[in-house]
Amino acid sequence: MRTTVSTGQNGMLRGQQSSEGYGSFESVVVNHEDSDDDAGSVYTELLQGSVPCPSCKGMGKIPKEQEGQLVALIPMKDKRLRPRRTYLWVCLAVVVCLTAAGLLMFFMFPRGVDMTSKKPYLSPVGAVYINVTQQYVNFTIQNRFNISNQNFLPIKITSVAMTVLYDTQVLAESKNMSKLDVPMRSSGQYYVTANVTLDQENQMGYMAQSCDSPIRWAHELVMLFEFNCNYEVLGRTEQTTLQTFQFVSCYSPIRPSPIGPTVKPSTTTTTKTTTTNATTTS
């Protein structure tokens, strides 16, 4: 093995070490630069601790610890600076947002809640109190109607108020506070009970004799029913109404035990809240 050391004009020490025969050739370069006060620093580069230079086309090496401190200069016309498929991604994002907003509005948009009555003929529920002498009639009817939910969200019926009229005369008022949940795109049945009184105060006392007759056309009346339904959807309260004309019979073969010719039976207040069962049908 032979080692050669030479000194250049700038004070650079060059060392060369080689081995005869088969072996590897390694070089060590020691750069010594003198300063004004004859003191300098020595920079040593070892090939074993370096990595290839990315900008030297494979002809140079840099220290491994300085690999993360490199700064790349890219020409303005380099294709890497040009955005790729920008219009495609922007259009795709716009289409997705519009589709999501459209679906949300379609399903969340409030739709109507319809009330329909499929029971045009109403008969008294229980006994009918009739006093022909005093022209007084009292009986109870129960009206049924359907509530159709057209929304894609469930609703909750909170209360239904019913007013019974005959020829602009209010005969009874009732309110049902029963809760009813109606699923989306389905319907439910609701019942409201009212106590109807025919007497001289509402100018319907003349019907006492007709209600006592078993002839159908004599004891049938065409009454107007007005419904105000309150329901909740998405945390807010809405209202829907219904007006329907229905035949009401004031005759019943069931008669209560006689109380006396001049004594009226006790009646309940027409504004009393009643509670009935409610069913839901899909």
List Cα–Cα distances, 279 to 115, 144, 229, in angstroms: 15, 11, 16
Q: Are residues 150 and 224 in the same domain?
A: yes
Q: Are residues 63 and 126 in the same domain?
A: no
pLDDT tens digits, one per residue of 108-132: 888 889 999 877 889 999 889 999 8
pLDDT, mean of residues 245-250: 93
Asked whether residue 98 is domain-assigned, the answer is no
Q: Are residues 122 and 209 in the same domain?
A: yes
List Cα–Cα distances, 40 to 6, 34, 62, 63, 180, in angstroms: 19, 5, 22, 21, 94
Q: What is the span of the domain harbouring residue 45?
A: 2-69
How crowded is the C-beta side of 149, counted as CA atoms within 13 Å? 25
Q: Which residue has the higher pLDDT, 277 or 165?
A: 165
Q: Are residues 185 and 276 in the same domain?
A: yes
Q: Are residues 61 and 193 in the same domain?
A: no
Residue 224 has pLDDT above 80, yes or no: yes
pLDDT tens digits, one per residue of 50-98: 777 777 776 777 787 777 777 777 787 777 777 778 889 899 999 999 9
Count how many domains the chain has.
2
Residue 256 has pLDDT above 90, yes or no: no
In the numeric block, which tokens belong to residue 45? Answer: 């580069």
pTM: 0.60
Task: Identify the CATH number of the domain in which residue 122 sits.
Answer: 2.60.40.10
- The last residue of one of the domains, among 53, 69, 85, is 69
Asked whether residue 94 is domain-assigned, the answer is no
Q: Which residue has the higher pLDDT, 26 or 80?
A: 80
